[in-house]
Amino acid sequence: MSALLSDFTPDSHDRDLLLTATRYWDDVLALAVLTPVFWSLCSYFLLPKKHEPGYDLLFASPQRQDGLLSEKEKTSEDARDINRKLNDAATDVVVFWGSQSGRAAQFARQLARELHSNGIAATAEDLDLYDHEHLAQVSRDKVLGFVVSTFGEGDPPDNAAGLWDALREFNKSKTDALSGLRYFVFGLGDSKYEQYNQFALNIDQQLQEAGAQRVGDLGKCDVSKAADDGWMDWKETIMQQVSDLVPARLPKTVASLYEADIDITDLPQDDPALPPALLAAELGRTKVHTAPVSSSRLLSAPGSRAYIHLEFDISAFGPDFTYSTGDHLAVWPMNSDQEISRLAALFGWSPTVLAAPINITARSSTDTTTLALGQTTRLSLLRHHLDIAGPLTVQTVRLLAHFAPTPESKTYLNTLLASSTQVADLTSSHTTLAGVMALSLSSSSDPTPGTSTPITWSNALFPLLLQTLQRIQPRYFSISSSPLCSPDKVSITVGVLTVPVSNTDSTQPTTFFGLASGYLLSLHQTFQTQVQGHGHGHPSPGTTSRSPVSPPTAPTYTLSPPRTPTPTLGSPNAASHGEGSCTAQISLRPSSFRPPTDPTVPVVLVAAGSGVAPFLGFITERAELRRRGGKVGRCLLFFGCRNPTEDFLYGETWEQIRSEHDFLEVETAFSRPGEQGGEEEGKKEKMYVQDKLEERKGEVARLVKEEGGRVYICGGVAMARAVKEGVVGGVEGGGEGFGGCLVNGDGGLVLGGFDGFDDD
């Protein structure tokens, strides 16, 4: 098609027509080429196949390998001394990472790997695995890196808390304990937060105060701009600066940035060897549990934004899973079958290739930074390990451009790279990895007419993607139940993230689903199908009973647990093939966002949308205590949502509790009152929770100051910030402050430092 254009000089109208026709035929041909591959992958996988015993372990998900280790399994005291690592392994550069959701860890591993492949003895290390008082003994010819994100409100990620304590201890002694130590810092943060990149700034300041010397500039990534904003340029510069300081003592393992330093080899289909790490998981040493769904409900009106209540049965886990009200549940999501199929089609992988056992080895025995070394399958990597649907990074687009299979696709990708706004546009349009690969191909010359050989991407790209893409991380959900009411069940409230996608290629769906929330929606829909089929499905306490299935329909997932014998890409019914197929991998994360230990303390709970999740646990717990004859304090809930008919989460539950007890009062703020209501509703003003709080601040202040009450805030970051500013303003302006306040905005826990605050 494109060739036709060069021999022809039409006027502009003709040219437009021709261009339109050309694009049309390009699309048709791309569709013709990719669709059969895509559907053959989908349909082929529906057929169950027999494999050797133990084969299914190759599909086990990553958390079963690196799981959450128990305290006793943490490294010995010697191994927690970074000097041993530096000396025993003859390492010159350690890139420590402090990371909550995995991005900083991925960056650190990438930097260490690139230094290593350039001959520098470098490694990436989890901060939590070391005791940082040993930093004072680190030899001054070494270089330490800190790639850290910021959490809470300017706080360290969980695994960096020890470093923070150690640095402050060094400075308390005022002895220049780290004098001459060489270090570099890169921070990951989000400028939507008030304390942007504050933890990186804080550790830099503490290191300097202790006498350490920074190498290069402090790098910063603002993830609200791009997932790897600022990273590539900073990385290139710091690699050069570090190379000037430490000798390259190792042989170079790769010749260029576009060569991976891992090898992927095929294994015989019936290789009986099992990956050792998985055998460890088999002994039950990890704390990730495969939990069956015991109940699920749609909380919002069908057709509007979906909120679901999901309950898991934890009765089989015993003391391993003893939760408290306000704790968080980590849910390990997986990629959808559609996204896996699209990517497999682009690599030209048949279902047999996807499912074949492979072995991944590092070229250097000291490389500990690569994902999934050992035995696995491409399918397992795509389903459980690699974040193939997440935001695109500049580095990924660069790799794609290098490996682009046609001149046109290379030009397409290079044009994208030439303009930072175009990359940003692509990211904001929620294009996935498979999406951008397919888009770039749709700009390509057609394969020879009449042949059906699709254009595919080189297999050499895959190991590089393995080293570059973010690993799938668990997502956290506030627990919505109370162990007092349901010790054997744990429930969560999930707001399903859906975004309409406009920049679509022919195989891309028109709605983007959040990775975890789309997966959980699918779990809900599948559970409903199963339950309806079996005639069960009684509402559980704290849930509303609306129509069980609502649009939009989630993508499909192979929901059966990793150890079932036929781990195939499935259909919408894949989960209904057997008992126990409606399960999720979950783990518990303790939180300090807990109700007061004394239940008679009055509480003011402020939430918008799914932020109400933990408060369902708080309130049902008080109702249960009251039911058992106990005394409970007043509970004033401020709740913000769009309108009463669309997303007034748990409205019926509050009504029921209020009909039985007098401790609860609910104040609602509707932001889109007219959208579902009649004419009268339409005239009402848009309200946010902070407006309602402002209206009643005198009363709330009295509740807190005179009756010792507490204020808790939970929801999105903008809401939490606005509410907190209102509260602080009340205090600073000499007005009526609310005393103590706990904020839980987007999971970040903050203790308000107001007078009268008394942490549990």
Ligand X SMILES: NC(=O)c1ccc[n+]([C@@H]2O[C@H](COP(=O)([O-])OP(=O)(O)OC[C@H]3O[C@@H](n4cnc5c(N)ncnc54)[C@H](OP(=O)(O)O)[C@@H]3O)[C@@H](O)[C@H]2O)c1
Ligand Y SMILES: Cc1cc2nc3c(=O)[nH]c(=O)nc-3n(C[C@H](O)[C@H](O)[C@H](O)COP(=O)(O)OP(=O)(O)OC[C@H]3O[C@@H](n4cnc5c(N)ncnc54)[C@H](O)[C@@H]3O)c2cc1C
285-293, 489-497, 694-702, 729-737 -> range binding ligand Y (CB under 6 A): 489-497
Distance CA 478, CA 712 (A): 14
Based on the residue annotation, tell me whether 26 is a catalytic residue of this protein. Answer: yes
SS3 state at 667: strand
Distance CA 506, CA 509 (A): 8
Quick one: CA dihedral 622, 627, 632, 633, positive or negative? positive
Asked if 187 touches ligand Y (CB under 6 A), the answer is no
SS3 state at 68: coil
Burial class (CB in 10 A: 0-12, 13-18, 19+), 102: middle
Minimum distance from CB of 470 to ligand X (Å)?
A: 18
Minimum distance from CB of 693 to ligand Y (Å)?
A: 21
39-47, 120-128, 191-199, 632-640 -> range binding ligand FMN (CB under 6 A): 191-199
**Which residues 6+ apart lie within 8 Å of 144 measured at CB?**
82, 93, 94, 96, 135, 138, 181, 182, 183, 184
Neighbouring C-beta atoms of residue 279, cutoff 10 Å? 11
Q: Of 306, 641, 731, 750, which one interacts with ligand X (CB under 6 A)? A: 641
Asked if 495 touches ligand X (CB under 6 A), the answer is yes
**What are the strands, taking DSSP E only, across 420-540?**
475-478, 489-495, 498-500, 511-513
Question: Hey, which residues between 359 and 418 contact ligand Y (CB under 6 A)?
Answer: 389-391
97-105, 364-372, 425-433, 611-619 -> range binding ligand X (CB under 6 A): 611-619
Asked if 230 touches ligand FMN (CB under 6 A), the answer is no
86-94, 238-246, 381-389, 714-722 -> range binding ligand X (CB under 6 A): 714-722
Distance CA 582, CA 312 (A): 10
**Residue number with CB closer to ligand Y (327 or 367):** 327
**Largest interatomic CA distance in the chain:** 89
Asked if 109 touches ligand FMN (CB under 6 A), the answer is no
**Residue 351, contacted partner among ligand X, ligand Y, ligand FMN, none, CB below 5-8 A by kind:** none
Task: Name the catalytic one among 7, 14, 26, 217.
Answer: 26
26-34, 333-341, 545-553, 688-696 -> range binding ligand X (CB under 6 A): 688-696
**Residue number with CB closer to ligand FMN (199 or 527):** 199
Site string for ligand Y, 190-209 (x = CB under 6 A): --------------------
**Residue number with CB closer to ligand Y (353 or 497):** 497
Asked if 610 touches ligand FMN (CB under 6 A), the answer is no
**Residue 153, contacted partner among ligand X, ligand Y, ligand FMN, none, CB below 5-8 A by kind:** ligand FMN
Q: What letters, b where the CB count within 10 A reaches 16 and e where it falls short, cover 732-757?
A: eeeebbbbbbbbbbbbbbbebebeee
Phi-psi region of 101 (alpha: psi -120 to 50; beta: other; left: phi over 0): alpha
Distance CA 716, CA 351 (A): 41
**What are the strands, taking DSSP E only, across 648-735?**
664-670, 710-715
Question: Hey, which residues between 734 and 753 contact ligand FMN (CB under 6 A)?
Answer: 746-748
- In the structure encoding, which two tokens stand for residue 255, read together? 């010749």
Chain centroid to CA 394: how far?
Answer: 19
Distance CA 176, CA 212 (A): 8
Asked if 726 touches ligand X (CB under 6 A), the answer is no
Site string for ligand FMN, 151-180 (x = CB under 6 A): xxxx--x-----------------------
**Residue number with CB closer to ligand Y (219 or 391):** 391
Residues contacting ligand Y: total by CB under 6 A: 26
**Residue number with CB closer to ligand Y (377 or 440):** 440
Q: What are the residue numbers of the active site?
A: 26
Binding residues for ligand FMN (CB under 6 A): 99-104, 149-154, 157, 188-190, 193, 195-198, 223, 746-748
